[in-house]
Amino acid sequence: MGAGSWGGPESQRRVKVEAAAATTAADPWTEKSENWSPLTSLHPTNKNPATMAELQEVHITEEKPLLPGQTPEAAKEAELAARILLDQGQTHSVETPYGSVTFTVYGTPKPKRPAIFTYHDVGLNYKTCFKPLFDFGDMQEIIKNFVRVHVEAPGMEEGAPVFPLGYQYPSLDQLADMIPTILQYLNFSTIIGVGVGAGAYILSRFALLNPDAVEGLVLINIDCNAKGWMDWAAHKLTGLTSSIPDMILGHLFSQEELSGHSELVQRYRDIIMHAPNVENIELFWNSYNNRRDLNFERRGDATLKCPVMLVVGDQAPYEDAVVECNSKLDPTKTSFLKMADSGGQPQLTQPGKLTEAFKYFIQGMGYMASSCMTRLSRSRTASLTSRASIDSGRSRTASQSSESGIVPSGSPGHTMEVSS
C-alpha cells in the first residue's frame, strides 16, 4: 500500500506540524538507562515547561518539486530519512478531521520496515505506559531495527491544556481514524502495533479498517466487547462511591495489587490522582466505556488478518476479556501469553518476559534472524524453567490460553519458555 493512499486530498496536500524535542535532561522518563525503573521519580506533570513553549510550527507542503532524475519513490525515501533523522525522540502534532493528535518518534528508518506504533491505555501516556518496556536492556536489540512512533490520545500528552467544557472527545473509532494522518505524515505504509487496553482496542479497530497497513499486533489487556447492560449497571454503581481516578486504577490494576500498596501502584496512583489533565482523562475514559463491539469473527472480513499476540496478566482485571477475545480470533494467526506474577500491567512489571515474547513475535514475522537472538534467549531456550512459555498454535485447532502458554505466529511447532 502506498503512503499516498492515506487520508483525504486535503491532508495529502498540507500537514500542519508542531515539533518539539521530547527529551530533556530534567525528565526522568526520557533518560535511557538500563537502571531505569517505573519506580524512578516520575510524574507527567514534571514536564519541563520549556517543552511545550518550545513547540515550533513547521508547515510541510507535500507538493515538492523532484530533483532531476529522482523517482517519486526515491524522493519519498529521502524525505522520510531526512525527517526521521531529525526525529530522535521528537514530539509532533498533526491536524486530523477529529482534532489534533500528538506523537513522539524515536529511531532511524530502515528501508522497507514497518514502524513500531504504540497506543497507551486510559490514565497513562506513552511514557507512563511504555517507557519501562522500551528502555529494557534486551529490548534495545529489537527496537534498534525499527522506528518507534508513540501516539498519545488527545489531551493525554504532557502539559496538554484541559479541554473546554462541552468539548466533544473523539470516540475510540475516531481515534483509530486519526492514525492514517500520522502514518501519511511519516510516510510509513505499515506498522507493527503495540497497544494496551483502550490503545489495544484502537489499534485493532485501525487494523480491521486497514488490514494491509498492519503487519502485526501486540494487544495487552484488550476487551473487544462493548459494555453490556450488566457492566453498565456495575459501572454506574461503582461511580456512586468511587472517583474517576479510583475507577481508572481499578481498570489498570488488580484489587490485589491495589490493596498491596506496592511502590509501583503507589506511584501510578499518585500520577493519576494528581494528573493536571484529569478532566481530559475522564473524557478518554468515557470514550473507552462507550466503545462499540469489535465484532471479531474467527474468519472472514471481521477478523484481524495479521499475526496477533494477546497478552494479559494472570488474575488481572482483563483476564476473562482477553480469553474471550482469543476465542474470537483466527487461531492460526493468534498467540496468547498469560503472564504469571505480572498484575494488570505486564509491560511495567515484567518487561523482560514481554521483551522475550516480543522478540519471538518479531522473529516469526521474519524481521529478526534467529542468529540475532541474544545469548540470553538461546540459553533460556535450553533452560525451560519459567512460568510463562511460548508455544505454537499452528498445530492447534484453536490458540489456547494457559498459564504457561504463548503462541508466536510464524514459528509453528515451536515451544519455548520465557524465564522470569
Site string for ligand BEZ, 69-108 (x = CB under 6 A): -------------------------------------x--
Are 316 and 344 in contact by the 8 Å Cβ rule? The answer is yes
82, three cell numbers: 531526512
Half-sphere exposure of 62 (CA within 13 A, CB side): 17
Minimum distance from CB of 405 to ligand BEZ (Å)? 28
DSSP 8-class letter at 221: S
Of residues 219 and 329, the one with the C-beta less far from ligand BEZ:
219
DSSP 8-class letter at 50: H
**How big is the CA angle at 367 (ends 361 and 368), to the nearest 5 degrees?**
80
Minimum distance from CB of 361 to ligand BEZ (Å)? 17
Distances (CA, A) of 75 to 59, 62, 110, 142: 18, 11, 15, 28
Indicate whether 119 belongs to the interface with ligand BEZ (CB under 6 A). no
Total number of residues binding ligand BEZ (CB under 6 A)?
Answer: 9
Of residues 169 and 188, the one with the C-beta less far from ligand BEZ:
188
CA 380 to chain centre: 26
Stated length of the chain: 420
Rounded-to-integer distance, Cα 62 and Cα 349, Å: 42
Which listed range, 76-84, 123-131, 194-202, 395-403, lies at the site for ligand BEZ (CB under 6 A)?
123-131
Which listed range, 128-136, 197-205, 264-272, 274-282, lies at the site for ligand BEZ (CB under 6 A)?
128-136
Indicate whether 358 belongs to the interface with ligand BEZ (CB under 6 A). no
Minimum distance from CB of 135 to ligand BEZ (Å)? 6
DSSP 8-class letter at 30: G
Rounded-to-integer distance, Cα 414 and Cα 392, Å: 5
Minimum distance from CB of 150 to ligand BEZ (Å)? 6
Of residues 116 and 308, the one with the C-beta less far from ligand BEZ:
116
**H-run or E-run covering 56:** strand 56-61
Of residues 252 and 416, the one with the C-beta less far from ligand BEZ:
252
Of residues 127 and 333, the one with the C-beta less far from ligand BEZ:
127
Interface positions, 295-324, toward ligand BEZ (CB under 6 A): none
CA 48 to chain centre: 24
Q: How many CB atoms lie within 10 A of CB 388?
A: 27
- Alpha helices by DSSP H, listed for 105-167, are 126-134, 139-143
Interface positions, 130-149, toward ligand BEZ (CB under 6 A): 130-131, 134, 143, 148
Q: Which of 92, 120, 127, 333 binds ligand BEZ (CB under 6 A)?
A: 127
Minimum distance from CB of 264 to ligand BEZ (Å)? 17
Residue where the block lists cell 484488550: 222
* Edge-to-edge order in the sheet of strand 14-21: 56-61, 14-21, 90-96, 99-106, 148-152, 115-119, 191-196, 214-220, 308-313, 334-339
Of residues 41 and 259, the one with the C-beta less far from ligand BEZ:
41
Q: Which of 47, 83, 120, 150 binds ligand BEZ (CB under 6 A)?
A: 150
Residues that bind ligand BEZ (CB under 6 A): 106, 126-127, 130-131, 134, 143, 148, 150
